[in-house]
Amino acid sequence: MRVGPLRLAVAAILLAAAGPAGWTWPDGRNAPRVPADNAMSTAKVELGRRLFYDADLSIDGSMSCATCHVQRRAFADGNATHPGVHGDPGRRNVPGLSNIAWAKSLTWGDPRVRTLEAQVLIPVTGLSPVEMGMNGKEGEIAARLGRDGCYVRMFRDAFPEASGRIDMPAVAKALAAFQRTMISNRSPYDRWRAGEGAALNEGERRGEAAFRKTCASCHAGRDLSDGRFHAIGPGSGDRGLGEITGRARDDGRFRTPGLRNVALTAPYLHDGSAPTVAAAIDRHIGIAPRLGDREKAEIAAFLGSLTDRAFTGDRRLSLPQSACGVTL
* Spatial distance between the Cα atoms of 128 and 88, rounded to a whole number of angstroms: 9
DSSP 169: H
More confident call, 115 vs 5: 115
Q: What is residue 176's three-state secondary structure?
A: helix
Output the pLDDT for position 2. Answer: 32
More confident call, 327 vs 6: 327
Least-confidence region, from 23-27, 68-72, 82-86, 205-209: 23-27
**Residue range 255-281: mean pLDDT, rounded:** 97
Q: What percent of the chain has pLDDT over 70?
A: 93
Whether the predicted pLDDT of 32 surpasses 80: yes
Report residue 91: phi and psi, to 5°: -95, -40
Beta-carbon count within 10 A of 156 CB: 16
CATH (residue range 32-183+312-327)? 1.10.760.10
**Residue range 308-319: mean pLDDT, rounded:** 98
Least-confidence region, from 20-24, 38-42, 132-136, 271-275: 20-24
Output the pLDDT for position 297. Answer: 97
Confidence of residue 4 (pLDDT cuts 50, 70, 90): very low
- pLDDT digits 0-9 by tens, 111-135: 999 999 999 999 999 999 999 999 9
Q: Which CATH class is domain 188-307?
A: mainly alpha
**Residue range 27-40: mean pLDDT, rounded:** 94
**What's the one-letter identity of residue 215?**
C
Whether the predicted pLDDT of 45 surpasses 70: yes
What are the residue boundaries of the structural domains of the chain, listed by start? 32-183+312-327, 188-307
**Residue range 34-59: mean pLDDT, rounded:** 98
Confidence of residue 21 (pLDDT cuts 50, 70, 90): low
Alpha helices (H) in the chain, listed in sequence order: 5-14, 42-52, 65-68, 116-125, 138-146, 149-158, 168-179, 188-193, 202-214, 241-245, 277-282, 293-304, 309-312
Same fold, 32-183+312-327 and 188-307: yes
Output the pLDDT for position 28. Answer: 83
Whether the predicted pLDDT of 11 surpasses 70: no
Output the pLDDT for position 3. Answer: 33
Whether the predicted pLDDT of 42 surpasses 90: yes
182 neighbors 314 (Cβ within 8 angstroms): no
Instruction: Give Cα 162 to chain centroid, integer Å.
Output: 28
